[in-house]
Structure 1
Amino acid sequence: MTTIYDISKATGFSPTTVSKALNDYSDVSEKTKQIILKKASEMGYIPNSHARILITKKSWTIGILFDEKLNIGMKHPYFNAIIESFKENVESRGYDLLFISKDLGGNRTTYLDHCIIRGIDGVIIITSHPNNEQIIELINSDFPCVLIDNECNRKSSIHSDDVRGCYLAVEYLYSLGHRKIAHIYGSKDTFAGNVRLNEFINSLKKFNLPKIDEYLVDGGYFSFDGGYNAMKKLLELEDLPTAVFTAGDFMAVGAISAIKEKGLRVPEDISIIGYDDLDICKYVTPRLTTIKQNTDLIGKNAADILINEIDKKICRTSMIIPVELVVRDSCKPIK
């Protein structure tokens, strides 16, 4: 069966140009289109189309672009839960999902090339580095896009209310009598890490608590090891914090491990509060107090926003999803 790669080799045009010509994109010259269409006809190229696609002028395919630096990918329970919710909502409306990569049929492509070649209707983007050139190229394209756990002034976005989440964490620790509160933050080149660090500092100000630079430690890309190593640095201080707020639950579990290794106890010696409310929070000892992100709502609303952009040509939408404090056993009042 003839593919666009066969036509590409026969004509000398790139797969992206071939795909654009076959789909009548306006940025391909009429002369180039005619060469490609003629060769496609000669080679017996048959588009894999169904009647619904022909009638609606849509591929009924949505792309998922997952690009993060921790290299956990879909194994990360937070993003896995969001994608599962998103999948359930778009599939119920007749869409298929396609994971967007830079490697298509053994050929290196850009994310945008992949989207064009596959003819997707829209894409959700989950990335820890939105300033990546290929991500920016896709954001600047005509494809309907929704960024998850990020903000963008050019495309739609959805994320949790980190302002409220950080305030709830500090407020709760303050209510327990804690005045020496440290923060293990996520990498500043991530949206969540940067925002939560800034909002933690703003929350300290609201309770007239001092910002102690030694109490602010980089935990990297929200991993167990990042939290463990950051907590070890805090434990080297002469004046230990009585509570630590981490920007992610994996980091919180790593911090608890470092505290126990030091011969101290949670929460008797140091209280710990996380962020996410992953399932692991219920099973670690002590059970982790945390800020819950509503992954079901994030996934559902991401689906609604993207499909509205595809069907109704609705312009950029920005949505913030509420969070809540989940109290368990890892925090204790100061006597």
Structure 2
Amino acid sequence: MATIYDIAKKTGFSITTVSRALNNYPDVGAKTKKIILEAVEEMGYYPNSIARSLTTKKSWTLGVIFIEHLGVGIKHPFFSAVIQSIKQHVEKIGYDLIFLSENIGEEKKNYLDHALHRGVDGIIVVCTKYDDPEVVKLMDSKIPSVVIDLHSDKSSVVYSDHFLGSEMAVEHLYSLGHRKIAHISGHQSTYAGIERIKGFKHATGKFGLNIPSTFIVEGGYFSYEGGYNAMKQLIELGDRPTAVYAAGDMMAIGAINAINDHGLNCPQDFSIIGFDDIELSRYTNPKLTTIRQDTDLIGENAARVLLDQINGNKVFSAVTIPVELKVRESTRKM
């Protein structure tokens, strides 16, 4: 089994430098750290966790708190992709992830108590609701934390540019000749839902489009069923839209199926664009045009921001991740 001495010998760096790189100290350069981590992976080096904890005064565990209100839990395609990305990045420097619940055995505890009980070095909060009291409590605590997909001035945050993404969606539909554009919005207790409808209204206003109130239908917590039911309402209007921007891919897929079930066609009767670029969007019929969230980049930045806090490098960071338009088959020119 490889030791830290073997890593030092292979890379040519001192044992101290190797140790500091593995412990993510900020004074180790990115190039040096890359060389050391590549050697660690190649040689299969695994530091003894008990010895490391005694030396560094760290538990080498990060708590993941997943609070979502759709009811699908970790199976949610966007959030599961983000968590997988975080896992890949923190594992490289020796961190484990544990999921924190509100129960320890038969004892009921809140998330913060569970984090303290486990002695985690930091917390990753993945949440869909803007003002969840559990999230607020965590933000107010002294445990280093990063929150995914929310905005806050109390904690480090990483989120996609939802507002710009909505503008891009409307601009794409407008460029295809659509002037009657509807929006299936996300729940207005969620940060993504609020920002995406703001972006939609800003973009339609910029293009001078007259959007009646009936063209904005809430689809709930970004679910298939929410999109399906919202699209039914739009189909039943006397004056229908020609294009629909759904604030989430699952809602967009639900909308497409509602169109099909009414004997209509996407994109011939309605152009549909979603938001997220979940893997399924590439395999729908038609393939879904959408705004892509970069889950790899979200996870990478969340890991970096949290580790910076743990190592005393930075106290607060707010990182906005750019989005990208992915044009496929569900939108067409008028």
Verify same fold: TM over 0.5. Answer: yes
> What TM-score, normalized by structure 2, do the two folds share?
0.84
Q: Give the aligned partner of residue 42 of structure 1.
A: none
> What residue number does 2:9 align with?
none
Aligned to 2:8: none
Amino acid at match of 1:230: A
Write out per-residue CA displacement over residues 280-327 of structure 1, whole angstroms, 9 at most, x where no aligned residue.
Answer: 111111111000000000001100000000012411100000111000
Cα distance, 1:237 vs structure 2: 0.6
CA distance 1:226–1:287, shift in 2 (3 Å): same
Give the partner amino acid of 1:172.
Answer: H
Partners of 2:130 and 2:189 within 8 A in 1: no
2:321 equivalent in structure 1: 321
Which residue of the partner structure matches residue 311 of structure 1? Answer: 311
Cα separation, 2, equivalents of 1:133 and 1:85? 26
- Tell me how far apart the structure 2 counterparts of residues 191 and 129 of structure 1 sit (CA, whole Å): 7
Aligned-CA RMSD value? 1.0
Letter in 2 for 1:320: T
Equivalent residue for 1:69? 69
Shift of 1:211: 2.7
Mapped partners of 1:170, 1:292: distance in 2: 14
Match of 1:165 in 2: 165
Deviation at 1:130, TM superposition (A): 4.2
Larger Rg: 1
Distance 1:133 1:214 in 2: 33
Alignment of 1:163-242 (within 5 A): 163-242=163-242
Q: Deviations over 1:78-112 (max 9, x none)?
A: 11110000000001111011101100122100111
Asked whether 1:143 is paired with 2:181, we answer: no
Q: Would you say the 8 A contact 1:286–1:329 is kept in 2?
A: yes
Native 8 Å contact 1:130 1:136 kept in 2: no
Give the equivalent residue in structure 2 for 1:105.
Answer: 105
2:161 partner amino acid: D
Return the letter of the residue paired with 1:310: I
1:33 alignment partner in structure 2: none
Distance, in Å, in 1 between the alignment partners of 2:258 and 2:134 is 38
- 1:115: Cα distance to partner? 0.7
Q: 1:323 & 1:65 partners in 2: Cα distance?
A: 25
Q: Secondary structure at the match of 2:123?
A: strand
How many residue pairs get matched? 286
**One-letter amino acid matched to 2:329:** D
Separation (CA, whole Å) in 2 of partners of 1:60 and 1:279:
32
In structure 2, the residue matched to 1:152 is: 152
1:135, CA displacement in angstroms?
A: 2.1
Distance 1:186 1:304, change over 3 A: same
Q: Residue 43 of structure 2 corresponds to which residue in structure 1?
A: none
Structure 2 residue ranges without an equivalent (≥5): 1-48
Q: Does 1:132 align with 2:145?
A: no
- 1:258 CA drift (Å): 0.6
Q: Deviations over 1:196-218 (max 9, x none)?
A: 01110001111111232100000
Residue of structure 1 equivalent to 2:95: 95
C-alpha displacement at 1:159, in angstroms? Answer: 0.6
Q: Provide the residue aligned with 2:117 in structure 1.
A: 117
CA distance in 1, matches of 2:249, 2:130: 23
Deviation at 1:132, TM superposition (A): 2.6
Quick one: distance in 2 between partners of 1:197 and 1:111?
31
Instruction: Tell me the SS of whatever aligns to 2:311.
Output: helix
Q: Matches of 1:230 and 1:159 in 2, distance apart?
A: 26
| CA distance in 2 between partners of 1:184 and 1:159 (Å) | 21
Instruction: State the TM-score, normalized to the length of structure 1.
Output: 0.84
Amino acid corresponding to residue 59 of structure 2 in structure 1: S
Structure 1 unpaired stretches of 5+: 1-48
Is 2:257 the counterpart of 1:269?
Answer: no
CA 206–130 in structure 1, closer or farther in 2 if over 3 Å, else same: closer
2-structure distance, mates of 1:66, 1:94: 22
1:313 and 1:72 mapped to 2: Cα distance?
36
* Structure 1 SS opposite 2:296: helix
SS at match of 1:50: helix
Query: What is the 5 A alignment of 1:252-291?
Result: 252-291=252-291
Write the distance in 1 (CA, Å) between the matches of 2:104 and 2:313. Answer: 29
